[in-house]
């Protein structure tokens, strides 16, 4: 349902040759799937997401959502950033931040929006923090607010740009599991960008490995691990270890190429 | 706040000492018998002009002019500042003009304003508008330019288009800067209303002070200055109160970051 076809993105620096961030990227994401994109840092993963989210126009190629070309931010698709401290509105309480996810839509009264926002705040485990400001919360909690704000809109597709990249290891584990639970209960489609190979394998049904700049998909990996996943048993599963090893080798080879 | 109160008591103590020295200087003619009357005489004059209501009318007229000029300046400057901060084209085409006009000390435009607008209220309001506009404009522009791109992209992914984006995201994010501009402009409004009322006027607190001097009512001249001091102090306190309420989030946020 989300299809990326031969996407290319060039940037023209102030002087010199254009930089090709995305060479020719193609892949598909089926409805309800959890798909990861893994690649060496600086390979253009964020650029890719911005193009899919309609925030940046590709130089060539197309992004299709339900067969319709994406030319601007599409309804039903939300991009969630790593920098929760910048993406949340510091002047709004947690409740009003989450409500923001619904405000720009017709047909809901403020009371209904607040009720819905409260429900999602509870879902992400922040009940009791509705009146707090984001900057009063820890990093992990702030990212939970951002996730609630995105999910309250019931997006069909949620793009996540290294959402847990700046969190400490334990908080990260906690949020990975929280995200999986939410995804399973809400049946959204998630496209998750990360440079953490284990994270990609642990979370996904499928992972696409990107090459160095100019990025293109070098391999598609099906992750055949049962759900619900478990931080201990899943990560000890031989198939997990094998998938991790395979992706690691691919990326090391890429990085060696420079 | 406790240490603030402590310093305030000693502050009042020092003020009292100054008043006592002033009283003695006036009484014994240390400076000038006629031009430097004792504090008690000034205070008596102050109570007399307040009680008779004579000065209140002038204060009212001044406040009206300053308020109108200030309000219009805020309206024009915030609008322009947002445009210039947000759209590169607007910034690039207006920046030079703004920098040049801003460099003109406001009293220097009084002669021009008189030529076009006469010596009535229009001229005074215009002078105040002109001089208040720049600090608000420049601060608004800086504020808008400092809004994080991640925040703007987040808003766009939630489907906000230009108008809503500016109103619900850019303006509140820039509001601490705008408040700084408004606060600087408040002091300027008071300065310029007095200056403009000293150039061809028959009402206003500036006129009142000048007229007292010209008719050798020296204690009354000082009393007028006392009125201005109290007025400026009250306005600033009032502004700070409003600021503390509206910008509570920003004070909390910056306190956290420190």
- For B250, the closest chain A residue by CA position comes to A91
Q: 3-class SS at B176?
A: helix
A153 vs B contacts (CB less than 8 Å)? 158
Instruction: Find the residue in B nearest to A56 (Cα).
Output: B153
**Chain A residues close to B170, C-beta within 8 Å:** none
Calpha distance B118→B111 (Å, rounded): 9
* Residues of A whose CB is below 8 A from B246: none
A77, B148: Cβ pair inside 8 Å? no
Residue positions counted in chain A: 258
Tell me, yes or no, if B251 comes closer than 8 A to chain A by beta carbon. Answer: no
Write down how long chain B is: 258
CA closest to B253 among chain A residues: A135
Kindly indicate the confidence band of residue B3, based on its pLDDT and cuts at 50, 70 and 90. Answer: low
**Burial grade of B189 (CB within 10 A; 0-12, 13-18, 19 or more):** buried
Residue A2 resides in a domain: yes
The whole-angstrom distance between B165's CA and the closest CA on chain A is: 10
Give percent of chain A with pLDDT exceeding 90: 76
Q: Which of A52, A57, A63, A73 has the highest number of chain B CBs within 10 A, making it the mutation to test binding with B?
A: A73
Per-residue burial over A46-67, b if 16 or more Cβ lie within 10 Å, else e, is bbbbbbbbbbbebbebebebee
- Give just the sign of the alpha carbon dihedral B77, B83, B86, B87: negative
Number of separate domains in chain A: 1
Q: CB neighbours of B198 closer than 8 A, spacing ≥ 6?
A: B206, B207, B209, B210
Whether B148 contacts chain A with CB within 8 A? yes
From residue B184, give the alpha-carbon distance in Å to each of B158, B178, B179, B215. Answer: 35, 10, 9, 34
Alpha-carbon distance of A224 to A201, in angstroms, equals 10
Which residues in chain A have their CB less than 8 angstroms from residue B164's CB? 104
d(CA A2, CA A62): 11
B157 in contact with chain A, both atoms CB, cutoff 8 A: yes
pLDDT band at B257 (very low <50, low <70, confident <90, very high): confident
The reply to whether A23 falls in a domain is yes
Query: Per residue in B11-24, pLDDT tens?
Result: 889 999 999 999 99
Contact B159 A105 (CB under 8 A): yes
**8 Å CB contact of B156 and A55:** yes
Residue range B85-99: mean pLDDT, rounded: 93
> What is the DSSP code (8-state) at residue B107?
G
State the complex-level ipTM. Answer: 0.92
The per-residue pLDDT for B1 is 46
CATH code of residue A49: 3.40.50.300
pTM of structure: 0.89
The answer to whether the Cβ–Cβ distance between B249 and A53 falls below 8 Å is no
Q: A231: domain range?
A: 1-66+194-245
Distances (CA, A) of B64 to A232, B162, B200: 72, 35, 17
Q: Which residues of B touch A90 (CB under 8 A)?
A: 173, 249-250, 253
> What residue has token string 């309000």?
B71
- Sort out which chain A residues have CB atoms less than 8 A from B158's CB and list them: 73, 78, 100-101, 104, 153
Q: pLDDT digits over B134-178, tens only?
A: 999 999 999 999 999 999 999 999 999 989 999 999 999 999 999
From CA B88, how far away is CA B102, in angstroms rounded?
20
> If you write DSSP's letter for every residue of chain A in order, what string do you get?
-EEEEEEEEEE--SSSSPEEEEEEEEEEE-TT-EEEEE--TTSSHHHHHHHHTTSS--SEEEEEETTEEPSS--TTEEEE-S-HHHHS-TTS-HHHHHHHHHHTSSS--HHHHHHHHHHHHHHTT-TT-TTS-GGGS-HHHHHHHHHHHHHTT--SEEEEESTTTTS-HHHHHHHHHHHHHHHHHHT-EEEEEES-HHHHHHH-SEEEEE-SSSB-EEEEEE----SS--TTHHHHSHHHHHHHHHHHHHHHHHHHH-
B150/A79 Cβ within 8 A: no
**Quick check: A38 contacting B, CB < 8 Å?**
no
* pLDDT at residue number A258: 65
Answer whether residue A221 is part of any domain.
yes
Shortest CB distance from A133 goes to which of B150, B154, B252? B252
Position A171 scores a pLDDT of 92
How far lies A89's CA from each of A137, B140, B173, in Å? 13, 18, 8
A 47-66: CB under 8 A from B: 50, 53, 55
Cα–Cα distance, B167 to B208 (Å, whole number): 43
B252 touches chain A (CB under 8 A): yes
Q: Do B159 and A73 touch (CB under 8 A)?
A: yes
- Tens digits of residue pLDDT in A223-251: 999 889 999 999 999 999 999 999 999 99
Which of A57, A78, A91 to probe the B interface (max B CBs under 10 A)?
A91
Report the percent of chain B where pLDDT is more than 90. 86
CB pairs below 8 Å between A and B: how many? 61
Question: Domain for residue A185, yes or no?
Answer: no
Calculate how close chain A gets to B198, using CA atoms only, in Å.
43
Q: Are strands A217-222 and A206-210 parallel, antiparallel or unpaired?
A: antiparallel
**B39-257 CATH choice from 1.10.3720.10, 3.40.50.300, 3.40.50.970, 3.30.2350.10:** 1.10.3720.10
Question: A42-55 pLDDT, tens per residue?
Answer: 788 889 999 999 99
Q: What is the mean pLDDT of residues A68-78?
A: 92
């Amino acid at each position: 349902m989300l299809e990326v076809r031969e996407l290319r993105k060039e940037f023209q620096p102030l002087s010199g040759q254009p930089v090709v961030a995305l060479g020719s990227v193609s892949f598909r994401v089926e409805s309800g799937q959890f798909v990861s994109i893994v690649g060496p840092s600086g390979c253009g993963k964020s650029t890719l997401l911005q193009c899919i989210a309609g925030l940046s126009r590709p130089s060539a190629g197309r992004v299709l959502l339900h067969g319709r070309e994406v030319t601007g931010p599409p309804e039903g698709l939300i991009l969630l950033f790593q920098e929760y401290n910048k993406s949340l509105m510091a002047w709004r309480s947690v409740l009003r931040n989450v409500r923001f996810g619904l405000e720009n839509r017709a047909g809901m009264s403020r009371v209904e929006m607040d009720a819905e926002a409260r429900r999602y705040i509870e879902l992400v485990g922040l009940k009791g923090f509705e009146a707090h400001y984001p900057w009063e919360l820890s990093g992990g909690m702030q990212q939970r607010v951002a996730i609630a704000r995105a999910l309250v809109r019931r997006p069909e597709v949620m793009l996540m740009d290294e959402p847990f990249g700046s969190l400490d290891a334990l908080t990260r584990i906690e949020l990975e599991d929280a995200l999986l639970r939410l995804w399973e209960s809400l049946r959204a489609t998630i496209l998750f960008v990360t440079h953490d190979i284990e994270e990609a394998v642990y979370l996904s049904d499928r992972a696409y490995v990107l090459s160095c700049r100019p990025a293109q998909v070098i391999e598609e990996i099906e992750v055949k691990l049962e759900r619900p996943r478990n931080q201990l048993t899943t990560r000890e599963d031989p198939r997990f270890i094998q998938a991790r090893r395979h992706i690691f080798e691919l990326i090391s080879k890429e990085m060696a190429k420079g | 706040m406790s240490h603030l109160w402590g310093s305030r008591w000693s502050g009042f103590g020092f003020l009292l000492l100054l008043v006592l020295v002033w009283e003695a200087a006036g009484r014994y003619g240390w400076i000038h018998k006629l031009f430097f009357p004792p504090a008690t005489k000034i205070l008596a004059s102050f109570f007399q002009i307040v009680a008779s209501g004579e000065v209140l009318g002038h204060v009212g007229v001044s406040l009206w002019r300053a308020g109108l000029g200030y309000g219009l300046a805020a309206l024009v400057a915030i609008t322009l500042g947002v445009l210039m901060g947000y759209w590169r084209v607007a910034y690039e085409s207006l920046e030079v003009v703004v920098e040049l006009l801003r460099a003109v000390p406001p009293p220097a435009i009084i002669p021009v304003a008189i030529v076009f607008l006469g010596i009535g209220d229009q001229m005074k309001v215009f002078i105040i508008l002109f001089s208040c506009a720049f600090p608000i404009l420049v601060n608004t522009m800086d504020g808008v330019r400092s809004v994080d791109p991640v925040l703007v992209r987040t808003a766009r992914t939630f489907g906000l288009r230009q108008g809503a984006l500016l109103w619900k995201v850019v303006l509140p994010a820039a509001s601490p800067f705008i408040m700084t501009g408004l606060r600087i402009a408040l002091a300027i409004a008071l300065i310029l209303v007095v200056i403009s009322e000293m150039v061809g006027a028959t009402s206003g607190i500036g006129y009142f002070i000048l007229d007292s001097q010209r008719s050798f009512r020296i204690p009354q001249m000082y009393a007028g200055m006392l009125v201005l001091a109290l007025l400026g102090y009250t306005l600033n306190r009032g502004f700070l109160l409003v600021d503390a309420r509206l910008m509570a989030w920003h004070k909390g946020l910056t306190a956290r970051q420190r």
